[in-house]
Amino acid sequence: MLGKAWGWLSARLGGQPQGRLRFSVHRHPEYQSFWRPSDASQRMPQMEIQIYLEASNMTNEPRGITSAEFEGMPVHATVVIGVRDASTGKFAPNHPLPPQRIAVVSLHFLIDGQSRSADEPFHVTLWLTDNLGERHSTKVIMQ
């Protein structure tokens, strides 16, 4: 009840309503996100990016993640989008985000072009689309 009232008040005052799905880069050492140049033997240089997100599903229904993309960065391939099943600990693309729970999402990308310097942080806006077509964004910053 308080959440609905806060959403109504925020909308009336011009604030942004809270999203139904929330994402942030996972900080636990077990889920280390990284970025690095991919296999150097390929003709076109590529960057490999592995991101683990903590995802909160604030809805009363399961939600699947159908696609992910970086703002302003051409993605050659999204290799894996997987949600970790709490009972088995395995990541799979057909696992939805459970309702009213927090889950871990794994994203693995290959990006065409030169990789960034290892001395500078990697930062980008990540857009995720759920099975209902709603788009959700989060800022990604990795050292």
Burial 51-61 (b: 16+ CB within 10 A, else e): bbbbbbbeeee
How far is residue 91's CA from residue 63's CA, in Å, rounded to a whole number? 15
Q: What pLDDT is recorded for position 17?
A: 43
In a domain? residue 124: yes
In a domain? residue 1: no
In a domain? residue 3: no
Residues 58-113 have pLDDT tens digits of 999 999 999 898 888 776 666 668 899 888 889 988 899 999 999 999 999 888 77
**pTM, whole model, 2 decimals?**
0.77
Degrees to nearest 5, angle at CA 67 with 66 and 70: 160
Summarize the confidence of residues 4-27 as an average pLDDT.
Answer: 64
Question: What letter does residue 114 receive in the DSSP assignment?
Answer: P
In a domain? residue 11: no
In a domain? residue 45: yes
In a domain? residue 85: yes
Q: Structural domain tally of the chain?
A: 1
CATH of the domain at 61: 2.60.40.1890
In a domain? residue 122: yes
Residues 31-58 have pLDDT tens digits of 888 888 776 666 677 788 899 999 999 9
Q: How far apart are the two ends of the chain, measured CA to CA in Å?
A: 40
CB of 73 closer than 8 Å to CB of 116: no
Structural domain boundaries enclosing 103: 18-142
In a domain? residue 13: no
